[in-house]
């Protein structure tokens, strides 16, 4: 008698209750095998995916911050460019420093020829390179009253162009007995500078000292 026949004979000899218990055991073993072969790998995959969640979230968060940072950098550059355009409206016009110096003299001359002020000389100084720009300066020698000097100094920061006083010397004029009742006149030498976007010439190009 072979093995199969023996098993069949053994099963026939079992009672109905014993057969039911044996069937339940077989079902349990089959279910255990299914869980082992199917559910466990799925559970392991879930655990691995769950462990990767913090890393993935951190990666996405860093990417989001980087993307936001790029936007902020672009926005900052745009704002800086807009501010630069606004500031460059204060640059003196002219394709070269000489033309910018002439424009500066055109601004200053009406101030130096106002009532109570006598302009004795005006001359352009050699331009000086300041980074991407050049500084253009004009020296004014004049005689004026204290009110006239204050008026000139007040006009400088109010002007739409970027102007500044680089040098200022003031001395009192000499008066004799015949002029004792006149208002005191001041002898003033003032250097006023502006900015040009034209490059200053080098010494080899004949820049004035």
Higher pLDDT, 158 or 175: 158
Mean per-residue pLDDT, 86-92: 84
**pLDDT tens figures, 4-49:** 576 666 666 767 677 777 777 777 777 767 666 666 666 666 666 6
Rounded mean pLDDT of the chain?
A: 78
Query: Is 187:173 a contact under the CB 8 Å cutoff?
Result: yes
17 Cβ partners below 8 Å, 6+ apart?
Answer: none
Q: Is the pTM of this model over 0.85?
A: no
CA 36 – CA 23 distance, rounded (Å): 20
Confidence at 80, pLDDT banded by 50, 70, 90? confident
Query: Is 153:161 a contact under the CB 8 Å cutoff?
Result: no
Q: Which of 108, 105, 103 is closest to 155 using CA atoms? A: 108
User: For the chain, what percent of residues have pLDDT higher than 70?
Assistant: 67
CA 209 – CA 200 distance, rounded (Å): 12
129 Cβ partners below 8 Å, 6+ apart?
Answer: 135, 199, 200
**Strand pairing of 186-196 and 164-172?**
antiparallel
Higher pLDDT, 35 or 175: 35
Confidence at 124, pLDDT banded by 50, 70, 90? very high
Higher pLDDT, 33 or 109: 109
CA 106 – CA 130 distance, rounded (Å): 23
pLDDT for 209:
40
Residues comprising the chain, all counted: 209
Query: Is 183:145 a contact under the CB 8 Å cutoff?
Result: yes
**pLDDT tens figures, 126-173:** 999 988 889 999 999 999 998 889 999 999 999 999 999 999 999 986
CA 14 – CA 19 distance, rounded (Å): 6
């Amino acid at each position: 008698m072979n093995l199969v026949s023996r098993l069949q004979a053994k099963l026939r000899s079992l009672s109905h209750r014993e057969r039911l218990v044996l069937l339940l055991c077989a079902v349990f073993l089959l279910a255990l095998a299914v869980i082992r072969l199917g559910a466990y790998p799925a559970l392991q995959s879930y655990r691995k995916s769950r462990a990767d969640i913090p890393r993935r979230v951190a990666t996405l968060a860093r990417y989001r911050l980087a993307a936001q940072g790029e936007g902020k950098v672009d926005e900052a550059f745009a704002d800086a460019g807009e501010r630069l355009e606004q500031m460059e409206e204060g640059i003196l016009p002219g394709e070269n420093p000489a033309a910018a110096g002439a424009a500066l003299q055109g601004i200053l001359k009406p101030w130096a020829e106002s009532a109570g002020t006598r302009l004795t000389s005006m001359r352009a100084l050699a331009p000086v390179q300041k980074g991407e720009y050049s500084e253009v300066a004009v020296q004014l020698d004049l005689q004026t009253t204290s009110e006239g000097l204050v008026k000139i100094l007040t006009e400088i920061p109010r002007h739409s162009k970027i102007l500044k006083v680089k040098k200022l010397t003031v001395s009192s004029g000499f008066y004799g007995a015949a002029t004792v009742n006149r208002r005191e006149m001041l002898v003033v030498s003032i250097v006023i500078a502006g900015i040009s976007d034209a490059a200053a010439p080098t010494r080899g190009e004949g820049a004035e000292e």
